[in-house]
Every structure is written in C-alpha cells, then in structure tokens.
C-alpha cells in the first residue's frame, strides 16, 4: 500500500515538473506575440472583453458532442487535416484553445505559434477546469467550421 502511494506521488510530481518546464517554453514572452496560459475565470473575462475571439476545441468528436464552450470551433487534434484546418482560422483574431485537460491543447498552441498566430490564450486544465468553475457550456454543440473542408 505504501509503495503504491509513493509511486502515485512520484508520478504526480513528475507530471507537474514536466508540465512546468513545457509551460515555461511554450508560454515564453515574445515580442509582438501574446501566448498565455489562463485559468477559467480569466478566460471568461477575456472572452467577454474580446467577443471576436475564436474558441478552438481540439478534443475528439465524441468529447465535443458531449458539450463545449459556447461558440466553439471544433478541429480535433487527431484530424489528419488539423494543420490545414487551423490555416482557415483568422490569424488577426485572438484564439482561445482548449482540450479536456490541457495536454492536446498545448500541442495545438505550438501549432498555432508555428502558423504565426499572434494572440493565443490557452485554457489551463481545459474543459474540465471550465466545468469545475461552473462557467457556461453548450450542450450538443455543432461546429462552426466545416469538418470536411
């Protein structure tokens, strides 16, 4: 029992150390670019202040169909045409990107940066954190981007 607890603690601490290093690189300040990791209440304030923000959900189709942030654009990170579909977003508008817990959306942040998006907001801990904060969600959403395009 004690070994199980010790291993679990080691895994959790290891993840936080890995995530911290990843975040320091991914969200490093760069001239002319905003790329930040925001908590749910900060994201909600940002969305209210910037209604033109493109809310990007990179979860799977099944996850998305179970609920999403209001007005979310669904482009699954697992989609073979992910990069191409990202290119259809408006680079002049801010993007708030999220997944279920933050891992896949961090990969999407890197892809957005590579495509020269200049205002990227990342929802820390993803959709789960948004739900835990009891912020509004859209049940049975339909994507605002054509899936086959």
Give 70-94 pLDDT, tens digit per residue: 999 999 999 999 999 999 999 999 9
Backbone dihedral angles phi then psi of residue 8, each to the nearest 5 degrees: -60, -45
* Long-range contacts of the stretch 70-76 (C-beta < 8 A, 24+): 70/136, 70/137, 70/138, 71/138, 71/144, 72/138, 72/141, 72/143, 72/144, 73/143, 73/144, 73/145, 74/141, 74/143, 74/145, 74/147, 75/145
| pLDDT reported for residue 10 | 76
In this predicted model, what pLDDT tens digit does every residue of 29-74 receive, in sequence order? 788 899 999 999 999 999 999 999 999 999 999 999 999 999 999 9
| pLDDT reported for residue 131 | 96
| pLDDT reported for residue 18 | 66
In this predicted model, what pLDDT tens digit does every residue of 94-142 receive, in sequence order? 999 999 999 999 999 999 999 999 999 999 999 999 999 999 999 877 7
Show the tokens assigned to 42: 């900060």
Q: What confidence category does residue 143 fall into, taking pLDDT thresholds of 50, 70 and 90?
A: low
d(CA 43, CA 49): 10
| pLDDT reported for residue 16 | 67
| pLDDT reported for residue 25 | 83
Higher pLDDT, 6 or 146: 6
The DSSP line for 46-95 is HHHH-TT-EEEE-S-HHHHHT-BSTTPEE--TT-TTHHHHHTTS-TTS-E
| pLDDT reported for residue 71 | 94
């Amino acid at each position: 029992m004690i070994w199980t607890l010790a291993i679990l603690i080691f895994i959790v601490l290891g993840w936080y150390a890995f995530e911290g290093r990843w975040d320091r690189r991914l969200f490093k300040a760069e001239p002319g670019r905003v790329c930040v990791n925001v908590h749910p209440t900060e994201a909600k304030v940002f969305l209210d202040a910037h209604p033109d923000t493109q809310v990007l959900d990179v979860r799977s189709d099944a996850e998305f169909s179970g609920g999403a942030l209001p007005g979310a654009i669904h482009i699954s990170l697992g989609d073979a045409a992910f990069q191409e579909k990202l290119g259809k977003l408006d680079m002049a508008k801010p993007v708030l990107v999220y997944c279920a817990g933050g891992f896949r959306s961090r990969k999407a942040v890197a892809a957005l940066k590579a495509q020269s998006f200049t205002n990227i907001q990342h929802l820390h801990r993803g959709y789960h954190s948004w739900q835990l904060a009891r912020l509004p969600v859209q049940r049975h959403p339909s994507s605002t981007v054509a899936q086959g395009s």
